[in-house]
Amino acid sequence: MKNILYNMKMYFMMFKASIKSLAEYRVDFIIGIISQIFYELIEFIFILILFKNTNTINGWNFYEVLLLYGLLNIALGYVDLFFDEMYEVGPYYIKDGTFDLIALRPVHPIISIMSKSQSVTSFGYIIIGMIMTIFSLIKLNIMINLQTLLFIAFITFIGGIIIGAIITILCVTSFWVMDSNEIMWSAFTMYKFSEYPLSVYNNFIKFILIFIFPFAFVSFFPASYLLNKDYGMIAFIAPMIAILFWFIAVKLWNWGLKHYKSSGT
Amino acid sequence: MLNNYFGIIKSSFKKGFVYKIDNLLSIVNRIIEVSVLIFIWKAIYGGTVSINGMNLETLIVYYAVAYSLNHIMTWGINEYIASSIKNGRINMELLYPIDYMKYFFCYKLGMVLRQVMIISMPTFIILSVLFHINLSFHFINILFFVLITFLSIIIIFFIELIFGLMTFYTTSDWGLQVLKKSLITILSGAIAPLEFFPTIIAKIMNILPFTDLIYSPTTTLLGMNSITGISIILIRQFIWILVLYSISKVIYNTAIKNITIYGG
């Protein structure tokens, strides 16, 4: 336990230093923001097009789907904020030998790498996600009280942690494959499935989204809870899922570390 | 001289084969994206036979073709140009005994050939099997599809060149790539056929060059365009090639002046 707390403290110290270096390039920052807005627009326009041609998708109306998308976006923001650097492990840290330095530090390598994340886009995700979530809640006449807000803040954070665990688990492949970022990116793309109600998919994809890559806990179950739909209460299992997946992630990392051979550079 | 061009095309063609996992996962990503879209539309169609004059089968073929093309149109040379400007390799490239633009056009051609072979074709074949696509296209439509796609590769080449050269003014090549990719995905008709957009927006999209990257070739292959429709597409493509060529020439000339001032 003491070990975990120490690692946590170190994480926040290093993370703060990393965020400060963001403000360095202003034009890049602006282009980053603009490009992200356009990127977000893709899905939003697609949802608009869908509902131009239909009133509901399996009983979910426009604002309900928007709520799914909003919750997912906030969670993706956390993922971007905390775990962005994980993508660099294979192609950067291990390839050119920087990983040796990190392995020698007195903190767990996961902590060292996570704290290096500095993503401009994360704040965009979180802000856009919050706007969409609040907007759809208002339109759906759902009471926004302290309880709802706490639930949203908590569940999206847990959602981010769950996706982070998936990324961290897949990151273990970096010890063998240098293109590991592509593998992680592919699995991450699965989040697209959670932009829409689970009921539109076939059983195979439902199974994957609940048990293998549990993206359903990031948006579908929390939104169902907020909307008083079936299966909403399952959202409260999410913290357990997060702990379970992180347990697996850390175990796998420690196992991978034992097999790590430096590239020699 | 012609030999040099073929040499560049060949070397650029071979380059990407090294990244086996990369290529495989690109296919996986496309399939995930298309599957989501198809599941949603299936749920929306339900019992309805046709929406906006398109039935579900046609729409599925549309997405399969569009997303197979999408990879060619969204991953191009702009990142390569950006990295060459960032790490100074551009100095070498400017010294090559071949024109900068021609060099990159050959590079792009080689890249497209590779993308068609190892990403677009496999993606399309897997999607056809997964979603039971009926592959009975008319021979004439296939010919026009190839012609329009070739012209759209020239259009996308200039767009990529412009985005790549922007790196002279900002180091955020990643941001520019996302911006380019997003613009193309929205405006090319990759997310949905133009018929599904609101009329006013569809009209604006029809003037811009982006629809000809994915929507026009795809609908032509599906036999949705008449001969007049195809001629309009071809004329529009020629006009945009001229316009984009001029714009990229201007940007290139100004940017190159900058580079000599700073000594490269």
SS3 call for B55: strand
Count of domains observed in chain A: 1
Contacts of A38 in chain B (CB under 8 A): 178-179, 182-183, 186
Kindly calculate the radius of gyration of chain A based on its CA atoms and give it in whole angstroms. 19
pLDDT (average), residues A109-137:
84
Distance, in Å, from the CA atom of A140 to the CA atom of A34, rounded to the nearest integer, reads 29
Contact B172 A28 (CB under 8 A): yes
Tokens of A122: 């994360």
Question: Is the Cβ of A207 closer than 8 Å to some Cβ of chain B?
Answer: no
Contact A179 B22 (CB under 8 A): yes
Distance, in Å, from the CA atom of B58 to the CA atom of A54, rounded to the nearest integer, reads 18
SS3 call for B50: strand
Residue B2 CB: number of other CB atoms within 10 A?
6
pLDDT at A155: 94
pLDDT at A1: 64
pLDDT at B264: 45
Contact A186 B29 (CB under 8 A): yes
Q: How far is A208 from chain B (nearest CA, A)?
A: 13
pLDDT at A184: 84
The pLDDT-based confidence of B98 (bands split at 50, 70, 90) is confident
Residue A147 located in a structural domain = yes
Residue A263 located in a structural domain = no
What share of chain A has pLDDT > 90, as a percent? 38
Q: Reply yes or no on whether the pLDDT at A265 is more than 60.
A: no
Q: Reply yes or no on whether the pLDDT at A66 is more than 70.
A: yes
Structural domain that includes position A218 = 2-258
Residue A18 located in a structural domain = yes
Residue A253 located in a structural domain = yes
Residue A264 located in a structural domain = no
pTM of the model: 0.83
pLDDT (average), residues B32-38:
89
Q: How far is B191 from chain A (nearest CA, A)?
A: 6
Q: Reply yes or no on whether the pLDDT at A259 is more than 50.
A: yes
Residue A179 located in a structural domain = yes
Q: What is the average pLDDT score of chain B?
A: 86
Question: What digits encode the pLDDT tens for the residues A166-185?
Answer: 999 988 888 887 777 778 88
Question: What digits encode the pLDDT tens for the residues B121-177?
Answer: 999 999 999 988 888 888 999 999 999 999 999 999 999 999 888 887 776 777 788
Residue A176 located in a structural domain = yes
Q: Is B84 or B235 the better-scoring residue by pLDDT?
A: B235
Asked whether this complex has an ipTM greater than 0.85, the answer is no
Question: What digits encode the pLDDT tens for the residues B216-247?
Answer: 999 999 988 889 999 999 999 999 999 999 99
Distance, in Å, from the CA atom of A226 to the CA atom of A217, rounded to the nearest integer, reads 13
Alpha helices in chain A (DSSP H): 2-20, 26-52, 62-83, 98-104, 109-114, 121-139, 146-171, 180-189, 203-207, 220-226, 238-258
What share of chain B has pLDDT > 70, as a percent? 97
pLDDT at A24: 59
